[in-house]
Amino acid sequence: MKIGISCHHTYGGSGAVATELGKALARKGHIVHFINRAEPFRLGSFSRNIFYHEVEAMHYPLFECPFYSLALASKIAEVAMYEKLDVVHAHYAIPHALSAILARQMVKDKCRDEAHCFRIATTLHGTDITVVGADSSMHGAVRLAINKSDGVTAVSEYLRQETVEMFEPNVPIEVIPNFVDLEVFRRLPENPALREQLGLGSEKICIHISNFRPVKRIGDVLGAFERIVQEVPATLLMVGDGPERSDAEERVRKAGIGDHVRFLGKIDEIVPLLSISDLMLMPSSAESFGLAALEAMACGVPVVVTNAGGFPEFIEDGRHGYLVETGDVESMASKALGLLTDEAKRLAFAGACVEQAQQFDITGLVERYEAFYLGLLERG
């Protein structure tokens, strides 16, 4: 198949899923065209079945801001016509699905040949529904993006239900969960050089990875860690960047635990960091799936997360880590300490995590997406 993919290129789960999916489809012989504002952060090196088209929105003094969604629609239409795309896969409802819908109109208008028009697959990732779609200024746009796509998937049953409740869509939504490439996400051997580079000794390592947005509850990560570090020698690796970072750094300084927390910023190569970690803390208020937790589990890192969103769909309490109520920092700290002070138990959880990650191996889930595309093409 010839597949166009449009996604957010920035540090975030939807871009990661879209890019890994595109790379996997290309390895299977499909031709994949990424149509994006900038190169997705996980695209990496050249591959002969992958093409990348950058969308440049026109700057004009009359416009207060450039119309990216329109430029994206024009670029999708152009690539679809000349590359004869079968499917355009929009990741995140806004603007990608809406731009694809507009692009389809452009192609139909130009070619007057509906038979050659591409199908639109839209994957809902979470905040496009729960945050953006919940805003009254965007509700109608998100609803149209869902209803006018040829097929829609959501990354968890939780997200599917939220979407149904909020939008009462008139199309079915299929759940295709996030996945992990187990060839890449697996625990690497001990790495004393990396520990030294990060100024780490033999203490326990906790890790948090996110885009530091309010939904990630960075304050809860720090609150739990402040209690943890009172009981066990530990360092917290804070990976990523975003609007909550400055406040978080300030809090760490005030709490006097600066020597125990490393803010590492955005890092593409996270497997080495996961491989030296003992535990992940992810107290998000709503996480449609929680890809970072799955990637940690694949690397043998148990997770302490909130009992919210899609987490309970792949994390079993007391087996892969713990599910605590949102904002319950005390429980988060005591569950974490329970694992960090009992290495045999932590290792048992780590083993169960690696086993559980097999259920979400990229191979089977890419096949699910291929079948989904074929279904759209067969429906005509």
Q: How far is the CB of 184 from ligand GMT (least distance, A)?
A: 16
The yes or no reply on residue 287 touching ligand GMT (CB under 6 A) is yes
Omega into 192 within 30° of 0, i.e. cis? no
Beta-carbon contacts of 268 under 8 Å, excluding residues fewer than 6 positions away, are: 41, 42
Phi, psi of 182 (to 5 degrees): -75, -15
Nearer to ligand GMT, 68 or 108 (CB): 68
User: Which range, of 103-111, 122-130, 143-151, 180-188, touches ligand GMT by CB under 6 A?
Assistant: 122-130
Q: How many CB atoms lie within 10 A of CB 157?
A: 14
Judged by beta carbon, residue 131 or residue 348, the one nearer ligand GMT is 131
Identity of the residue, 235 or 284, whose beta carbon is nearer to ligand GMT in the bound complex: 284
Contacts of 207 (CB under 8 A, 6+ apart): 236, 237, 239, 273, 274, 277, 279, 280, 281, 296, 301
Report in angstroms how near the CB of residue 128 gets to ligand GMT at its nearest: 7
Instruction: Fill in the per-residue mask, 65 to 84: x = in contact with ligand GMT (CB under 6 A), - = not in contact.
Output: --------------------
155 in contact with ligand GMT (CB under 6 A): yes
Q: Which is nearer to ligand GMT, 15 or 302 (CB)?
A: 15
With binding defined as CB under 6 A, does residue 19 bind ligand GMT?
Answer: no
Residues in contact with 274: Cβ distance below 8 Å, sequence separation at least 6, in sequence order: 185, 187, 207, 280, 295, 296, 299, 301
CA–CA separation, 338 and 92 (whole Å): 38
20, containing H or E segment: helix 13-27
Query: By CB under 6 A, is residue 127 in contact with ligand GMT?
Result: yes
* CB 334 to ligand GMT: min, Å: 25
Interface stretch with ligand GMT, choices 36-44, 123-131, 297-305, 317-325 (CB under 6 A):
123-131
**CA–CA gap between residue 215 and residue 200 (Å, rounded):** 29
14 near ligand GMT (CB under 6 A) = yes
Indicate the residue among 228 and 294 with the shorter CB distance to ligand GMT. Answer: 294
Rounded alpha-carbon distances, angstroms, from residue 94 to 107, 127, 243, 358: 20, 10, 21, 31
Give yes or no for residue 6 binding ligand GMT (CB under 6 A). no
Contact window for ligand GMT (CB under 6 A) among 9-17, 54-62, 251-259, 300-308: 9-17
Cβ neighbours of 350 (radius 10 Å)? 22
- Residues that contact ligand GMT, how many (by CB under 6 A): 21
Q: At 247, which helix (H) or strand (E)?
A: helix 245-255
Contact residues toward ligand GMT (CB under 6 A) are 8, 12-15, 17, 92, 125-127, 155, 178, 211, 213, 215, 286-291
